Amino acid sequence: MVIKKVGVIGCGLMGHGIVQVAAQGGCSVIALETEQRFLDSGLARIEKSLAKLAEKNVEKQKMTAEQAKAWVSEVRARISGSLDRRALADCDLVVEAIVEDLPVKLALFKELGSICKKETIFASNTSSFSIGEMAGASGRPDRMVGLHFFNPVQLMKLVEVVRTKDTSDESFAAARAFGEACGKTPVACKDTPGFVVNRLLVPYMAQSLMMLERGDATKEDIDAAMQLGCGYPMGPITLTDYVGLDTTLAIIEGWVKRYPKEPAFAIPEVLRTKVKEGKLGRKTGEGFYKWEGDKKV
Ligand SMILES: NC(=O)c1ccc[n+]([C@@H]2O[C@H](COP(=O)([O-])OP(=O)(O)OC[C@H]3O[C@@H](n4cnc5c(N)ncnc54)[C@H](O)[C@@H]3O)[C@@H](O)[C@H]2O)c1
């Protein structure tokens, strides 16, 4: 099965990027939102990003100015928006990128199961929930996968393609080929908590916060150690500020509840405290560091 028509539900931080890379990959894409203002804001982000990309391509002499202009119009023409889920009925693939709230996602997949043609493959971009649970709600477990993109979607090269015990070979192959068409390198993963990247990354971030709590080293030294010792582009505590302390806490709390026997999943007290204080990281101007926009101060 070749994916030609794609629906993306949620046009926020991740969704707008998925809409864009799918359209760049040649698919016709419908972006679905709950309110016109959210849809407008997602589509405006795509416009801005396409313009920036076109400018870079001209600068690098990959395209002439005319070619860049034509490319932007071509990509843009493949994108449409809707507030009505029924518009997704004949999509080959529907990718969900709404809030990280399991009951909301389950209700959405239940509804999609009754709206979409029987061949439609469903994918979730969830960071922490089980794809299998959503597959159950959709009523078509053989056609459910995880497609976990990374932020910012336009730039990050990876997509994790997650299969459950029920995902058919055909659905998996189609989802993987779609990831490649989006310009990403797909990695295959089973339906395990956090898949590959977050399963390794989130406990590592939590451990760094526990080190801070115990006073093993300062936050600056922990960050410098991992940057200089491992060649990482940023240290784990700066990374936690980037991801958002509330998001990080929500992921670990969900795992602790679901997998109480897994020792790698533990909640650092300092994380709870900061979240209670409303210090959520870069987005609120303070987390473990203070921020002015994108800059640590
Ligand atoms: N932010 C990240 O770095 C990141 C990375 C990988 C995966 N994810 C996952 O991607 C998903 C989306 O995250 P985000 O950061 O883009 O969130 P976001 O809040 O930026 O965007 C979510 C969008 O979904 C819309 N929405 C909510 N409910 C909806 C519904 N029922 N129907 C249609 N639209 C709806 C909202 O209006 C909003 O625009 C989450 O599952 C998250 O865990 C996030």
Residue 271 within any structural domain of the chain: yes
Residue 111 within any structural domain of the chain: yes
| Domain endpoint, select from 170, 190, 210 | 190
pLDDT at 102: 93
How far apart, in Å, are the Cα atoms of 248 and each of 7, 148, 203, 287? 28, 16, 10, 12
pLDDT at 152: 92
Residue 297 within any structural domain of the chain: no
The answer on pLDDT for 36 being more than 90 is yes
The DSSP secondary structure of 124-151, one letter per residue, reads: E--SSS-HHHHHHHHT-GGGEEEEEE-S
Q: Are residues 116 and 154 in the same domain?
A: yes
Q: Which two tokens stand for residue 268?
A: 């650092």
Residue 124 within any structural domain of the chain: yes
Q: Are residues 25 and 136 in the same domain?
A: yes
User: Would the CB of 159 count as within 6 Å of ligand 1?
Assistant: no
What's the chain's average pLDDT? 96
The answer on pLDDT for 28 being more than 90 is yes
| Count of domains for the chain | 2
| Domain endpoint, select from 162, 190, 218 | 190
How many percent of the chain have pLDDT more than 90?
96
- Following CA atoms 186, 188, 191, 192 in sequence, which dihedral angle do they give, to the nearest 10 degrees? -90
Nearest atom in ligand 1 to 107's CA: 31
Q: Any bridge partners for residue 189, and if so which? A: 162
274: containing domain: 198-283
CA of 13 to the centre of ligand 1 (A): 7
User: Would the CB of 98 count as within 6 Å of ligand 1?
Assistant: yes
Residue whose Cα lies nearest atom 28 of ligand 1: it is 98
pLDDT band at residue 294 under the 50/70/90 scheme: confident
pLDDT at 104: 96
- Return the closest-CA partner of residue 161 out of 115, 205, 197: 197
pLDDT at 125: 97
The answer on pLDDT for 95 being more than 90 is yes
The residue type of 72 is: V
Write the pLDDT tens digit of every residue in 213-250.
999 999 999 999 999 999 999 999 999 999 999 989 99
User: Would the CB of 253 count as within 6 Å of ligand 1?
Assistant: no
Q: If you average pLDDT over residues 130-159, what whole number do you get?
A: 97
pTM score:
0.93
For residue 253, give the CATH number of its domain. 1.10.1040.10
User: Would the CB of 153 count as within 6 Å of ligand 1?
Assistant: no
Which of 127, 154, 199 is the best mutation target for the ligand 1 pocket, counting ligand atoms within 8 Å of the beta carbon and taking the most? 127
Q: If you average pLDDT over residues 271-281, what whole number do you get?
A: 97
pLDDT band at residue 1 under the 50/70/90 scheme: confident
- Return the closest-CA partner of residue 6 out of 70, 78, 76, 113: 78
Residues identified as active-site: 127, 148, 160, 198
